[in-house]
């Protein structure tokens, strides 16, 4: 008999498994239908011996000292600041998010101060009465030309929807800068796990109270693994048998390639905002990992309607459908719903860890330890 069955060995499941096993001393069984731990953050050596991320590039960044300190128990870190360039149809590379260099390079200008760049944005910006959609966010800030160059095609590829049909939150995530800062993230902690994500997960789960079973689907074992309580980190609609319908997700397919050359591109990720190619971006892992190797491995990302659930589609009707499932989840005794699939939200890794740690605090206040029932 396990005290807990945890479905999913990603950040949500592994964080809770470790806390419950270590702090509460309870017995935990962690299952995952994939053949590995780590969830979407899983990394592995490819045939050439290069460390790659099977589900696309994962860069750790956080403003939370608590999350950073928590994970530091399970890994050493390598300082890494991610940089992204956008490739124009003519091959020109410009920094993304848009900054002063982007504006100068695209327009043949030599603006030198933030005031000048802000004045440039203001002159381009179109007034929008009520900012509702992703298109409104960008057009009202930097105007239609920059919107069309960087956002329209990219968003249409990424989501299969025009930015005018998407919630404002999608493009609000991407800042526009008047200075020369070309880092993709500005968080206080920006690091990669020195030995990779999978090594960090193995350390988290290496505890005598934790049993890990991969290639194990919940549906196949739910009646054969006796347990008192459960943490569910899979899709919330799947747990309830899709009773109100399927929550829509956008998916991706990845094309991994190894090239017989030391470097492929100048930075970790190059975005392809134009609709002349079907992929959105290409990432080269050696920039992220610091690995020295005569060859290099890259990943192309092709957005897809079908496949693994990656990005909840941010439209009001989907939020309303999720609310129905959330009400069921809240009413389900002894099951805790945690992580990006169980709460139908786009969360970064640090946010999932923070959510799992908050869930653990709730478990601690509501369930006496070793109550046996
Ligand atoms: P997951 O990692 O998805 O883990 C859930 C696990 O549950 C899965 O392994 C799944 O197989 C398992 N599961 C589901 N249902 C069942 C079932 N019925 N039975 C058994 N097992 C089941 N975040 C960042 O902070 N930085 C980044 O750079 C970044 N890049 C990303 C790039 C891409 C392409 C994607 C898709 C996401 C990215 N993220 C990034 C987000 C990051 O992947 C997530 O925040 C994190 O992995 C979520 O952890 P999780 O445990 O909630 O879910």
Q: Which atom of ligand 1 is nearest to the CA of 13?
A: 51
E strands, 106-244, in order: 189-193, 210-213, 227-232
**Closest residue (by CA) to atom 30 of ligand 1?**
58
Instruction: Give the closest residue to 68 by CA, choosing from 362, 353, 361.
Output: 353
Torsion-angle region of residue 339: left (phi > 0), alpha (psi -120 to 50) or beta? left
Model pLDDT, residue 291: 98
In this structure, the strands spanning 296-304 and 249-259 are: antiparallel
Question: Is 11's C-beta closer than 6 angstroms to any atom of ligand 1?
Answer: yes
From the CA of 337, how far away is ligand 1's center (Å)? 14
d(CA 58, CA 193): 10
Structural contact between residues 257 and 220, judged by C-beta atoms closer than 8 angstroms: no
Model pLDDT, residue 316: 87
From the CA of 316, how far away is ligand 1's center (Å)? 23
Question: Is 140's C-beta closer than 6 angstroms to any atom of ligand 1?
Answer: no
Question: Is 308's C-beta closer than 6 angstroms to any atom of ligand 1?
Answer: no
> Is the complex ipTM more than 0.90?
yes
List, for residues 100-131, the tens digit of each pLDDT value.
999 999 999 999 999 999 999 999 999 999 99
**Closest residue (by CA) to atom 23 of ligand 1?**
348
Q: Which of 349, 357, 359, 360 to mutate to test the pocket of ligand 1 (most atoms within 8 A of CB)?
A: 349
Backbone angles phi, psi at 127, to 5 degrees: -65, 135
Q: Which atom of ligand 1 is nearest to the CA of 252?
A: 34
**Closest residue (by CA) to atom 49 of ligand 1?**
11
From the CA of 176, how far away is ligand 1's center (Å)? 28
- Residues 200-237, buried b or exposed e (16+ Cβ, 10 A)? bbbbbbeeebbbbeeebebeeeeeebebbbbbbbbbbb
Model pLDDT, residue 373: 46
From the CA of 84, how far away is ligand 1's center (Å)? 22
Structural contact between residues 251 and 303, judged by C-beta atoms closer than 8 angstroms: yes
- What the chain holds in terms of domains, given with CATH numbers, is 2-70+190-245+313-366 (3.40.50.720), 84-172 (no CATH)
From the CA of 8, how far away is ligand 1's center (Å)? 9
List, for residues 291-339, the tens digit of each pLDDT value.
999 999 999 999 999 999 999 998 889 999 999 999 999 999 999 999 9
Model pLDDT, residue 319: 94
**Closest residue (by CA) to atom 43 of ligand 1?**
40
Contacts of 44 (CB under 8 A, 6+ apart): 36, 51, 52, 54, 198
Q: Which atom of ligand 1 is nearest to the CA of 8?
A: 7
d(CA 354, CA 339): 10
**Regions of the chain short of the pLDDT cut 50:** 373
């Amino acid at each position: 008999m396990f005290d807990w069955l945890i479905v999913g060995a990603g950040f949500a499941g592994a964080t809770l498994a470790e806390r419950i096993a270590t702090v509460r001393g309870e017995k935990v069984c962690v299952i995952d239908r994939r053949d590995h731990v780590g969830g979407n953050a899983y990394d592995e050596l490819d045939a050439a011996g290069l460390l790659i991320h099977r589900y696309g590039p994962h860069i750790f960044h956080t403003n939370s000292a608590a999350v950073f300190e928590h994970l530091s128990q399970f890994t050493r870190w390598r300082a890494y600041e991610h940089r992204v360039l956008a490739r124009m149809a003519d091959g020109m590379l410009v920094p993304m998010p848009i900054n002063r260099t982007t504006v100068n390079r695209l327009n043949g200008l030599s603006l030198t101060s933030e005031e000048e760049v802000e004045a440039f944005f203001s002159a381009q910006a179109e007034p929008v009465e009520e900012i509702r959609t992703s298109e409104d966010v960008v057009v009202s800030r930097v105007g239609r030309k920059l919107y069309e160059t960087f956002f329209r095609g990219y968003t249409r590829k990424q989501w299969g929807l025009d930015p005018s049909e998407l919630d404002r939150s999608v493009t609000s995530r991407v800042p526009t800068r008047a200075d020369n800062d070309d880092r993709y993230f500005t968080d206080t902690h920006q690091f990669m796990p020195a030995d990779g994500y999978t090594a960090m997960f193995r350390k988290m789960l290496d505890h005598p109270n934790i049993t890990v079973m991969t290639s194990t689907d919940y549906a196949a074992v739910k009646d054969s693994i006796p347990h008192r309580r459960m943490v569910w980190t899979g899709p919330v609609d799947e747990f309830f048998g899709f009773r109100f319908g399927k929550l829509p997700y956008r998916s991706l397919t990845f094309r991994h390639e190894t090239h017989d050359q030391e470097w492929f591109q100048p930075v970790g990720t190059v975005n392809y905002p134009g609709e002349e190619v079907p992929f959105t971006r290409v990432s080269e892992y050696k920039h992220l990992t610091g690995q020295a190797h005569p060859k290099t491995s890259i990943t192309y990302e092709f957005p897809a309607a079908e496949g693994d659930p990656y990005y909840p589609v941010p439209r009001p009707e989907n939020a309303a459908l999720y609310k129905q499932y959330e009400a069921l989840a809240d009413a389900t005794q002894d099951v805790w719903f945690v992580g990006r699939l169980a709460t139908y939200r786009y969360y970064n890794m640090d946010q999932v860890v923070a959510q799992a740690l908050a869930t653990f605090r709730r478990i601690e206040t509501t369930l006496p330890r070793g109550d046996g029932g």
